[in-house]
Structure 1
């Protein structure tokens, strides 16, 4: 076992080692040497896995991953917040508004928000009990089917692998708002270097960066809400009470039921990344304490950042506004937030919103390396990827995962090619439905986990955090995601405003055959069986091994809470 302690006054680091006879010896080495040594493989727990099944081996390997547990409560809270505020809200909501109208936008985001809340609750329950490497892809292997775990793991890894170069280009495009003469490839280089350096600082670097990015986004949304209320009431420079006139003319709905379905699909994509909080559980110092708070507060984030802000957008911007049809998914001029402020006659603030959009894009790029590298390392631990990809160094960094994702990000230089649009559209098509599969699988894993608890006769009191919407919420989440897949199929086959064509269909639905191909190939080669409830491993991966002690602690916590006043109990229930 090895520890590094910096000696700031001498410029040296101290390495401590334990000899076979139990004696602790210390050696001073240079900081540069300590830095080089940090890339050496982390010591792993040696476990005799003779006679174990592949599923049992995967459970043990992911439970004993040497990932660093350095994320604090504030990091986890901001990761949860940051995952739900991005270009989907700032720009994608404009496309949704133009397709379905303000009422469709509001209803679609409410329905999707309810699904995300149910899914996050299910994920929280599972991740608090099993804060293992890979989270939901690992859960699919343990509670559903190893082949489905293989498909979900690579589906999720591909999502972030593809998103990283896309976000680098997107960040460079946002700078066109200021009409700079610098070539986009220069900005791509700068953003690539910054994001890669952040992730080479390990999980703490990722956590601190997301804390800062999310804080800026939160402040921006809250500021817009306050400003939006003032503008709706006629307090802007141009004056004039607005109220609900755009709900009357041009109207609340557009393109009928198909318009609503299109918005439903767009809204679902806007919440992509909310599941990262579950992936971060394995690197959280105290998931049992911090994760429930992050999961319970999702409903307030959705209500504040999406429902309230989009209600104001629907009041301030008509769905037939020509600028909503911007050519780029990160074009600031197509952002309804920018349009609302511009229409009010306020100068300067549109540039601020554009800067926030750029930060949101960089935040997603930062999450791309984190999400992909951790998922790849987990797949290697489960035996679903080459073993070398599971290399984790002494600082808890999955090095090969970070390197592979970083190198794939260099694909962003395609931005200098005339074919860049075709390349990026097809790359995006590979992962377009990734989140829908991920969320549906999380809900199904929760349903199967609860089924296994019943079949094996286990006491539900040993669950530290229970989903507030229970199994019913997971059934809703699973069914809703299946419905979104059906609506996506319909709107992809018969798009609004154009005739059916194969290219548009596969641009939207390519992820489905890709996922099915992963599943079928693994099933045909390895022929694993679907995990039955009576055979599910409900122990491996827990951080609290003594179930009786855990149950006693939970009872004491409940008794202490029962003695508090009504307002405190209400606060703890929702927050």
Structure 2
């Protein structure tokens, strides 16, 4: 097994183009290609655009917060490590295990989705065979090397980006009547109750949808520990990703809303399993593109595979980092000669496979596991914002100057505070409609991630007697050896 230092030397091979595409690809998926239609149907063009714009601004602040910490302390454990150092070790412990669990379950969900997508072409092939084949493919990509993961994710993400660009060009030409033979204009923005449908409650509900669509942008923090030059590549990637995501999402939704009225039944109830009612498919069909559904089905398949690939990488690296920090058994902190954390990869693959099999043998267990991981991404975002707020305050309190930071987030403390508030709103608003009707079983499923996080935090605090760190006792050392610390204890 390779030592930790050897691991860093072997795996610091992710380039800026990899980081940009990993974060970009992690957030452009079925949320944009399919679920965006439901957002427009629910809140109208104005409500959908406002919600995605609001979440986009929050994500920008989160990414700059993560960027400031990741360039100063580039570690694969990312926000779990930051929370344990700047807030409370118990919070870092809970964030790490929650995040690993979330992505391990997401891998299972994604491989189950591949079977649904592939049935478009191969309806006679059993779904479990297709899913296990793709799980094996994702495992092989990740076991080869970190560069293998980075290259695969780069090309899968590039397919999605090109699709969005083509869609935007086709959409704009369709709006102005250059394609499709009819000048549509922007009449759908004032059609019936447009642009805002359902008022603020409907718009707030779309905030949750938008939040799920942007999940995955925090992956840039996970990749920081394996970037060739984190001090230059991370800031550059953050800047590129923010503008690309914001422009892609806002422009795509604006185009869809202009071409398809919010009352269209094709937008209602859109799901990742029905490519036929993807807004992208509908727009391509409108201009007479032959095989539009087939093309979009292929794109959606790459999106699902990209998500599974990113999920396998993120969960493996988080478990590896926790193995090094003592939050997980030490075996998970080991790597092979190529710098791949093999024990962590095997454990993550096993959980993904078992979760997927539970969907065949017991759908109730599967649904419960998926629900339990639902809000974990938002809890990670909240952890990032709180950690950065504490990091910057401790940095100044201990006599440091901002000029010492390679990259520093602008608008502090407004950025992290705004991100904290919006993260809480999204978390609490996950299923707020069930509260007045006292639908306790539904509420328990929707908010299950929160009690799980609390239980993990309290368990670690009681066992290790941790406390909220004071600003003057926060460890701001750029690098520290957890194994050495453990031996000293």
TM (norm. structure 1) is: 0.80
Q: Which residue of 2 aligns with 1:525?
A: 463
Q: What is the CA-CA distance between 1:320 and the residue it aligns to? A: 2.4
> Within the alignment, does 1:42 sit opposite 2:23 as a pair?
no
Q: What is the CA-CA distance between 1:384 and the residue it aligns to? A: 1.1
- Counterparts in 2 of 1:164 and 1:537: CA distance versus 1, 3 Å: same
Larger helix fraction of residues? 2
Q: Which has the higher contact order (CA 8 A, sep 6+)?
A: 2
Q: What is the CA-CA distance between 1:338 and the residue it aligns to? A: 1.5
Q: Give per-residue Cα distances to partners, 1:340-380, cap 9 Å, x unaligned.
A: 32344432223212211110100000011101111111112
Q: Give per-residue Cα distances to partners, 1:524-554, cap 9 Å, x unaligned.
A: 22110211111111123289xxxxxxxxxxx
Task: Pick the aligned partner of 1:165 from 100, 104, 108.
Answer: 108
Q: What is the CA-CA distance between 1:414 and the residue it aligns to? A: 4.5
Task: Pick the aligned partner of 2:224 from 277, 281, 284.
Answer: 281
Q: What is the CA-CA distance between 1:492 and the residue it aligns to? A: 4.4
Q: Which residue of 1 aligns with 2:383?
A: 441
Q: Which residue of 2 aligns with 1:26?
A: none
User: Do the aligned residues in 2 keep the contact of 1:146 with 1:528 (CA within 8 Å)?
Assistant: yes
User: Do the aligned residues in 2 keep the contact of 1:390 with 1:398 (CA within 8 Å)?
Assistant: yes
Q: Which residue of 1 aligns with 2:239?
A: 296
User: Do the aligned residues in 2 keep the contact of 1:67 with 1:282 (CA within 8 Å)?
Assistant: no
- Counterparts in 2 of 1:256 and 1:427: CA distance versus 1, 3 Å: same
User: Do the aligned residues in 2 keep the contact of 1:145 with 1:528 (CA within 8 Å)?
Assistant: yes
| Greater Cα offset, 200-209 or 387-396 | 387-396
> Within the alignment, does 1:117 sit opposite 2:60 as a pair?
yes
- Counterparts in 2 of 1:351 and 1:201: CA distance versus 1, 3 Å: same
User: Do the aligned residues in 1 keep the contact of 2:86 with 2:387 (CA within 8 Å)?
Assistant: yes
Cα distance in 1 between the residues matched to 2:152 and 2:384 = 27
Q: What is the CA-CA distance between 1:327 and the residue it aligns to? A: 6.7
> Within the alignment, does 1:247 sit opposite 2:189 as a pair?
yes
Q: Which residue of 2 aligns with 1:139?
A: 82
Q: Which residue of 1 aligns with 2:40?
A: 97
- Counterparts in 2 of 1:425 and 1:493: CA distance versus 1, 3 Å: farther
- Counterparts in 2 of 1:486 and 1:67: CA distance versus 1, 3 Å: farther
> Within the alignment, does 1:486 sit opposite 2:446 as a pair?
no
Cα distance in 2 between the residues matched to 1:303 and 1:186 = 37
User: Do the aligned residues in 2 keep the contact of 1:429 with 1:506 (CA within 8 Å)?
Assistant: no
Q: Give per-residue Cα distances to partners, 1:134-164, cap 9 Å, x unaligned.
A: 0111000000000100110011101101101
Please state whether the residue corresponding to 2:136 is helix, strand or coil: helix
Work out the number of aligned pairs and report it. Answer: 479
Please state whether the residue corresponding to 1:488 is helix, strand or coil: coil
- Structure of larger gyration radius: 1
Cα distance in 1 between the residues matched to 2:189 and 2:175 = 13
- Counterparts in 2 of 1:158 and 1:70: CA distance versus 1, 3 Å: same
- Counterparts in 2 of 1:45 and 1:274: CA distance versus 1, 3 Å: closer
Please state whether the residue corresponding to 1:159 is helix, strand or coil: helix
Q: Which residue of 2 aligns with 1:540?
A: 478
- Counterparts in 2 of 1:45 and 1:416: CA distance versus 1, 3 Å: closer
Cα distance in 1 between the residues matched to 2:386 and 2:376 = 16
TM (norm. structure 2) is: 0.93
Please state whether the residue corresponding to 2:34 is helix, strand or coil: helix
Superposed CA RMSD in Å reads 2.1
Cα distance in 1 between the residues matched to 2:409 and 2:166 = 32
- Counterparts in 2 of 1:310 and 1:44: CA distance versus 1, 3 Å: closer
Cα distance in 1 between the residues matched to 2:10 and 2:386 = 27
> Within the alignment, does 1:329 sit opposite 2:272 as a pair?
yes
User: Do the aligned residues in 2 keep the contact of 1:100 with 1:263 (CA within 8 Å)?
Assistant: yes
Please state whether the residue corresponding to 1:267 is helix, strand or coil: helix
Q: Which residue of 2 aligns with 1:186?
A: 129
